[in-house]
Amino acid sequence: MTAGAAAEARPDATQPRPDRRAEPRRRRGWLIVARKELADHLVSARFVILLLVLGAATLVPIYLASDAIRDVASRLTDIRGAFLLLFLLTPSDSPVPNVLTFVAIVAPLLGVAFAFDAINSERSDGTLPRLLSQPIYRDDVINGKFAAGLAVIALVMFAVFAIISGFGLFRLGIVPSADDVVRLLAWYLITVVWVGLWLAIGLVLSVSMRRAANAALAGFGLWIAIAIFGRLVVEAIAGVIAPVASAGSLEEFLGLTGLSETIQRILPLTLYQEASAVLLRPDVTTVTTPATIDQYEQLGQQIQGQYLAFDQSALLIWPHVVALVAMTAVCFAAAYIWFMRQEVRA
């Protein structure tokens, strides 16, 4: 190549180069799917029904326990935690559980309801091949559906928490402190993670089962098994592995009790309830039985009525939160891998 040809081949430094930053960014596919799914969820009948059911299920115990909450709040010398009594107290002569128990048992229905037909309904309607023929990646479909379901769950739980808080403010005249607000926000986030776990479970069922009816029955059956019979089964297993009643000494009793509690924490419902109790009750200073006699004596020497700061309570429940997030991630990863390996035919 001659010198003249080489000079012509080189780009002219005086010519302006095209600005790549001026090019419009390509919109992420999962955001498009999530926005469409979110719009469909918000106008669906299941959204309205579940919001009304969950709202009524949480307002009933508050209304029944309003007199008890007002009486207890008026006798408290320390206002910390007074507002949180809305979610904990219930009349002693009433079979209706408190708000925490209702949320722990009923809220998972949101996750199952918004995910059991996320994929198999697209497949049965014949719209999944057409959806995947669009200029989006295949994983954008499942990512967008999970993000939309999680957004709806967060919106529903925020509405329920806002209704309960408004009832406490206007009906009972209880004003939350700054620590109460922080604890309530932390409990809201943990509740979203708890329901998100069931959303991921419902997504696994939707991917693995062809019919939406079968996925719904499996999801609700699993919910009943864990919410009603799960604790009984886990306690029976713990009683066989760690028979606390057969302990001969105090040290052996403490060791078997700690092992029994560890086995019971295999159940995600136990993790959520323990973490919620620590956040909603600042006077809870531990979630485990002391492992040694020295720790047992130190626990007995603690001042009654001592309140923990939020950061100290967060340290207590940090393993519970990590376990719930890990379970959610595992279930979503299972649904993701299963969906990516499935064959989609037009």
Residue 163: the pLDDT is 84
The answer to whether residue 257 scores a pLDDT higher than 70 is: no
Please tell me which residue, 312 or 64, carries the higher pLDDT value. Answer: 312
The answer to whether residue 246 scores a pLDDT higher than 70 is: no
Residue 192: the pLDDT is 93
As for how many domains the chain has, the answer is 1
Q: Decide if 12 is inside a domain.
A: no
Q: Please give, one letter per residue, the 3-state secondary structure of the chain.
A: CCHHHHHHHCCCCCCCCCCHHHCCCCCCHHHHHHHHHHHHHHCCHHHHHHHHHHHHHHHHHHHHCHHHHHHHHHHCCCCCCCHHHHHCCCCCCCCCCCHHHHHHHHCHHHHHHCCCCCCHHHHHHCCHHHHHCCCCCCHHHHHHHHHHHHHHHHHHHHHHHHHHHHHHHHCCCCCCCHHHHHHHHHHHHHHHHHHHHHHHHHHHHHHHCCCHHHHHHHHHHHHHHHHHHHHHHHHHHHHHHCCHHHCCCHHHHHHHHHHHHHHHCCCHHHHHHHHHHHHHCCCCCCCCCCCCHHHHHHHHCCCCCCCCCHHHHHHHHHHHHHHHHHHHHHHHHHHHHHHHHCCCCC
Residue 199: the pLDDT is 93
Residue 329: the pLDDT is 95
Nearest one of 341, 24, 32 to 208, comparing CA atoms = 341
Is pTM beyond 0.85? Reply is: no
Q: Decide if 1 is inside a domain.
A: no
Q: Is the Cβ–Cβ distance between 165 and 86 less than 8 Å?
A: yes
Residues in the chain: 346
**What mean pLDDT value characterizes the chain?**
77
Q: Decide if 7 is inside a domain.
A: no
The answer to whether residue 26 scores a pLDDT higher than 70 is: no
Q: Decide if 2 is inside a domain.
A: no
Nearest one of 188, 192, 195 to 164, comparing CA atoms = 188
pLDDT (mean) for 81-106: 74
The answer to whether residue 3 scores a pLDDT higher than 70 is: no
Task: Determine the structural domain holding residue 198 and report its residue range.
Answer: 27-341
The answer to whether residue 9 scores a pLDDT higher than 50 is: no
Q: What is the pLDDT of residues 267-290, one digit of tens each?
A: 888 889 889 988 988 877 777 655
Residue 289: the pLDDT is 58
Q: Decide if 167 is inside a domain.
A: yes
Q: Decide if 11 is inside a domain.
A: no
In this prediction, residue 321 has a pLDDT band, given cuts at 50, 70 and 90, of very high
Q: Decide if 295 is inside a domain.
A: yes
Q: Decide if 5 is inside a domain.
A: no
pLDDT (mean) for 97-121: 85
